A and B are shown apart, each in its own frame.
Chain A
Amino acid sequence: HSLSCNVLFAEFDDAADLLAANPDAMTISIDEPVEIPKNQHSHLQEPGREEDDELLGTNDSDKTELLAGQKKSAPFWTFDYYQTFFDVDTYQVLDRIKGSVFPVPGKNFVRLYIRSNPDLYGPFWICATLVFTVAVSGNLSNFFIHLGKPTYHYVPEFRKVSIAATTIYAYAWLVPLALWGFLMWRNSKVMNIVSYSFLEIVCVYGYSLFIYIPTAILWIIPQEVVRWVLMIFSLCLSGSVLVMTFWPAVRDDNRRVALVTVGTIVLLHALLSVGCLAYFFDAPEVEVPAPIIPAQNGTVITKSQ
């Protein structure tokens, strides 16, 4: 409670006095407004989930309630409202990216990293990077595969950029919308302990797409086996982030509904990666042994590729 008192004092006292009196409180008071929820979407507490509790800690809930009155709730047509979704520092974004690439088994991405400060910076720019990475890598890979053929003339294939952009942005924004709607609907029927706001779901999806950026770059390697291994590896990583996030939200529900939901999430994720691989990257040429065709006059002609 002394923690919260110092935070309240910070609002009214002179900064210099506060610094002189208690330097620790000053650093905490700077951190607090950033990490405490500013958005209007409140989520339910989770009293019964031990693993979630040890991440969240009971401290957070205290701070949440105390500072709830101080958070800015700007109306949605003002610029300040959208500024609350970009309230992240560089190290926070890097931490979240790291959390999506190295999922810790049993820990929830949203609880651990987002912690009621969902941002739109990560999802938007990771999607933008992925769009251009997939398009450029696909173009490069096709160039290297068809290099040396006399009939090949290089084309930049710029149309594919707009197709990539539509697909990836639609996936990263419409699927979370559908999932959020579905979870809200189930929430009204079955009292779930864990529920996520729309922005938190967008955040998870956006950050989970980060692993596909290095994967797309490595897909330039023109070997089918390598590409499929890479795809399965990245699918496991990002899929596990999604599964570990959404399993606590549906496990209270009917068993079948929960399994179908999680299965659909993984399936859509897999469809995205398979689709990207198939559309943007031409299949590498396979050396087939020359088939032997018996000619009409009896001599054997080998037909070369």
Chain B
Amino acid sequence: FPGLTDVSISEDIPVEGEITVPVGSHSPDEDFSTLDEPVRDTIMRDLKAVGKKFVHVMYPKKSSALLRDWDLWGPLVLCVSLALMLQGGSADSRDDGGPQFAEVFVIIWFGAVVITLNSKLLGGTISFFQSLCVLGYCVLPLTVAMLVCRLVLLAGSGTISFIIRLVVVIAMFGWSTLASTAFLADSQPPNRKALVVYPIFLFYFVISWMILTFTPQ
């Protein structure tokens, strides 16, 4: 370029500007820093997410919201409340009583981990924490069943109350299993679906058994 050979910049013109290359798309965190917003907003957002997932569990349809934005707050709250409600059973201090708090906790979390490992080993494509999230949230119907059972037991513990409890627990057990299967079955290889669903069935069956055999003092 012949005209540019004698172009020069005089030293007293300040040179300014940015050297860094601007990033094409801003990541959401940059526009969305949780550090500046009020604490109430942060908490409400998480609570709304948990609440939305509860609604998804109660009306299971094929939505990927539960899987995509997994969180473990809901399962923790459900597990703790279920374990607390299972306390106060008869003969708590003796060896023959119902499950202790730690036993319920361990059964739920260890059981969920084992089922997740099982489905991953069989070739499932779901991630570890997504599966834990789904299994934990689907304990919600059984927690509701436990609440109903305790209320029924306040009224009396005869045969009628047992029949009511049995029906409620069976219905909620079916609901839990169907809800978790609806969310998890798609990510499994097609000729191994039964192998993955069966441990889930066993898991909720054990929890239902613990709920049904709860006898107050």
User: Do chains A and B interact in one complex?
Assistant: yes
Residues of A within 8 A of B (CB): 79, 82-83, 85-86, 88-91, 93, 121, 125, 128-129, 132, 136, 139, 153-159
**Which one of B96, B193, B195, B214 lies within 8 Å of A159 (CB-CB)?**
B96
From residue 183 to 217 of chain B, which have CB atoms closer than 8 A to chain A? 191-195, 198-199, 202, 205-206, 209-210, 213-215
Structural contact, A132 and B193, CB atoms closer than 8 A: no
User: Is B95 an interface position by the 8 A CB rule?
Assistant: yes
* Chain B residues closer than 8 Å to A154, beta-carbon distance: 90, 213, 215
CB distance from A125 to the nearest CB of B (A): 6
* Chain B residues closer than 8 Å to A159, beta-carbon distance: 95-96
**Which one of A90, A136, A158 lies within 8 Å of B98 (CB-CB)?**
A158
Residue of B nearest to A154 (CB): B215
* Chain A residues closer than 8 Å to B90, beta-carbon distance: 153-155
**Which one of B94, B95, B195, B213 lies within 8 Å of A139 (CB-CB)?**
B213
* Chain A residues closer than 8 Å to B210, beta-carbon distance: 156, 158
Residues of B within 8 A of A (CB): 89-91, 94-99, 103, 118, 120-123, 191-195, 198-199, 202, 205-206, 209-210, 213-215
Structural contact, A90 and B193, CB atoms closer than 8 A: yes
Q: What are the nearest 6 A-B pairs in CB distance?
A: A86-B121, A156-B213, A155-B96, A90-B194, A89-B191, A158-B99
CB distance from B94 to the nearest CB of A (A): 8
Residue of A nearest to B212 (CB): A156
Contact A128 B194, CB 8 Å, known A83-B121, A155-B97? no
**Which one of A128, A136, A155 lies within 8 Å of B91 (CB-CB)?**
A155
**Which one of B118, B191, B202 lies within 8 Å of A121 (CB-CB)?**
B118
Other 10 A-B pairs with CB < 8 A, given A90-B193, A129-B202: A90-B194, A121-B118, A125-B118, A125-B198, A128-B199, A132-B209, A136-B209, A155-B98, A156-B214, A159-B96
* Chain A residues closer than 8 Å to B123, beta-carbon distance: 83, 86
Residue of B nearest to A129 (CB): B202
Residue of A nearest to B198 (CB): A125
Cα distance A155–B194 in the bound complex, in angstroms: 34
**Which one of B118, B122, B202 lies within 8 Å of A132 (CB-CB)?**
B202
Cα distance A86–B96 in the bound complex, in angstroms: 37
Contact A158 B199, CB 8 Å, known A90-B193, A132-B205, A139-B213? no
* Chain B residues closer than 8 Å to A155, beta-carbon distance: 90-91, 94, 96-98, 215
Structural contact, B202 and A128, CB atoms closer than 8 A: yes
* Chain A residues closer than 8 Å to B122, beta-carbon distance: 86, 121
Residue of A nearest to B191 (CB): A89
Cα distance A79–B117 in the bound complex, in angstroms: 10
Cα distance A155–B215 in the bound complex, in angstroms: 7
Cα distance A242–B135 in the bound complex, in angstroms: 37
A and B contact pairs by CB, cutoff 8 A, 17 listed? A83-B123, A85-B121, A86-B121, A90-B192, A121-B195, A125-B202, A132-B205, A136-B209, A139-B213, A153-B90, A154-B215, A156-B96, A156-B99, A156-B210, A156-B213, A156-B214, A156-B215
Residue of A nearest to B194 (CB): A90
Cα distance A157–B90 in the bound complex, in angstroms: 11
Structural contact, A90 and B191, CB atoms closer than 8 A: yes
* Chain B residues closer than 8 Å to A128, beta-carbon distance: 199, 202
**Which one of A89, A132, A157 lies within 8 Å of B206 (CB-CB)?**
A132
**Which one of A82, A89, A136, A139 lies within 8 Å of B192 (CB-CB)?**
A89
Contact A91 B191, CB 8 Å, known A121-B118, A132-B205, A157-B96? yes
* Chain B residues closer than 8 Å to A93, beta-carbon distance: 195
Cα distance A121–B95 in the bound complex, in angstroms: 32
* Chain A residues closer than 8 Å to B98, beta-carbon distance: 155-156, 158
